[in-house]
Amino acid sequence: GLAAAATRRFGASFRCGTRVTGLRHAGRRVVAARTDAGDIEADAFVVAAGMQSVPMLAPLGVTLPLYPLTGYSLTAPTQPGHHHPPAISVTDLHYKVVYARLGEQLRIAGMVDLIGRHPRADARRVALLARQARETFPDGANFDAATSWCGGRPATPDSKPLIGATPYDNLWLNTGHGALGFTLACGSAALLADA
């Protein structure tokens, strides 16, 4: 897979489940990422931590104009032969809802609330999202068994993500994509790689 290819080609290592707690710097260079498993030294660092980018960079004097847009999603199970979810991702422009098939599940995502830095689910919004999904794809999934999620999508005031250099010589940003994080991920990575 991707991890194996990155390891072979670039000597990358992956530390899944490791929490980055901050950055250690000397002058204009970051020298290590502080983690719950100890410091990790590297030549270059990219902060791509969504809303956590703000507290991570604050001790370095880097301020980011990020604000969390609270977004909602439902994940509903599907049963072959019984449910008929879309085979490809679909965007409903009227309701501003995206549908994506994830194996035997249908992910429904949409809506944005401005409710501050501590997102909390509004049961009325979750119910509305489920109702819209039922209207659009009545046989798409078992909506009664859907699980819901809400979280802060890191957005900038002008909706342009923060991709590029910081005042530190070896520290770059890739954050602030709002509701389009996965949509813009590959293009953002390419822009950053060329920076």
- Domain parsing of the chain, residue ranges: 2-66+156-194, 68-153
Query: What pTM does this model have?
Result: 0.79
Q: Cβ–Cβ contacts within 10 Å for residue 140, how many?
A: 20
What pLDDT does residue 127 have?
Answer: 94
What pLDDT does residue 1 have?
Answer: 80
The tens digit of pLDDT for each residue in 93-138 reads 888 899 999 999 999 998 888 877 777 788 999 999 999 999 999 9
How many residues are there in the chain?
195
What pLDDT does residue 107 have?
Answer: 96
What pLDDT does residue 80 have?
Answer: 82
List of the chain residues with pLDDT < 50: none
What pLDDT does residue 182 have?
Answer: 78
CATH number (3.50.50.60, 3.10.450.630, 3.40.50.300, 3.90.1720.10) of 2-66+156-194 reads: 3.50.50.60
List Cα–Cα distances, 148 to 18, 46, 105, 177, in angstroms. Answer: 26, 30, 13, 22
The 8 Å CB, 24+ separation contacts for 38-42 are 40/15
| 54 vs 46: CA distance, rounded Å | 13
What pLDDT does residue 111 have?
Answer: 86
3-state helix, strand, coil in the chain (%, to 5): 30, 35, 40
What pLDDT does residue 38 have?
Answer: 97
